[in-house]
């Protein structure tokens, strides 16, 4: 496995609409493993392929270091509720901001072995998936966040 360079805001690859993944093979699985390793090394909970310079519809998320999801060609097919919370992004070091997201979602995707799957998510996992899927459409959280701060806001108590 290998650590990959994370592209930072301002890099044009982060603004592109990513292409669907056409071929699920060893090369793709290796890329997903390298994305995961890069995410864990950076203390992130999610990473999207364009963040490492590959403009394809693939993301890796793991919000509890126990359940890693590799989502290929993911599509959100159901959303419920809305909740505002503070987010950051590996491509926007040291920036944080409040983003409104659906509270619960259902996402359909293809697994790393080519199986069609459905995942229901809520809380941090739902937030993370929505954040990563935005990357696939060239959208960064700083494009939609409110109250952007440098450094994480201190909680008062
Ligand atoms: Zn991000």
Q: What is the predicted pLDDT for the residue at 152?
A: 80
Q: What integer pLDDT is reported at residue 141 of this predicted model?
A: 97
Instruction: Report pLDDT digits (tens) over 20-32.
Output: 999 999 999 999 9
Q: What average pLDDT does the structure give for the chain?
A: 96
Q: Tell me the C-alpha to C-alpha distance, in Å, between residue 52 and each of 4, 34, 112.
A: 6, 10, 18
What's the 41 CA to ligand 1 centre distance in angstroms? 15
12-150 homologous superfamily? Peptide deformylase (3.90.45.10)
- Residue ranges of the chain whose pLDDT lies below 70: 153-157
Give the predicted TM-score (pTM) of the model: 0.95
132 is catalytic: yes
Q: Take residue 111 and report the two structure tokens written for it.
A: 């697994």
Distance 25 CA to ligand 1 centre (A): 25
| Burial bucket for residue 45 (CB in 10 Å: 0-12, 13-18, 19+) | buried
91 CA distance to ligand 1 middle (Å): 6
Annotated domain spans of the chain: 12-150
Q: For residue range 99-123, what is the model confidence (pLDDT) as tens digits?
A: 999 999 999 999 999 999 999 999 9
């Amino acid at each position: 496995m290998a650590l990959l360079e994370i592209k930072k805001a301002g890099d044009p690859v982060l603004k592109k609409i990513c292409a669907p993944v056409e071929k699920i093979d060893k090369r793709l699985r290796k890329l997903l493993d390298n994305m995961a390793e890069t995410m864990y090394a950076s203390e992130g909970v999610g990473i999207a392929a364009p963040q490492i310079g590959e403009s394809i519809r693939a993301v890796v998320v793991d919000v509890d270091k126990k359940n890693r999801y590799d989502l290929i060609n993911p599509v959100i097919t159901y959303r419920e509720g809305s909740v505002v919370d503070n987010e950051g992004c590996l491509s926007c070091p040291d920036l944080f901001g409040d983003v409104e997201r659906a509270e619960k979602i259902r996402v359909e995707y293809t697994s790393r072995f080519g199986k069609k799957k459905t995942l229901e998510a809520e809380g941090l996992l739902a937030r993370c998936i929505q954040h990563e899927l935005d990357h696939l459409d060239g959208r960064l959280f700083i494009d939609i966040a409110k109250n952007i701060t440098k450094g994480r806001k201190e909680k008062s108590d």
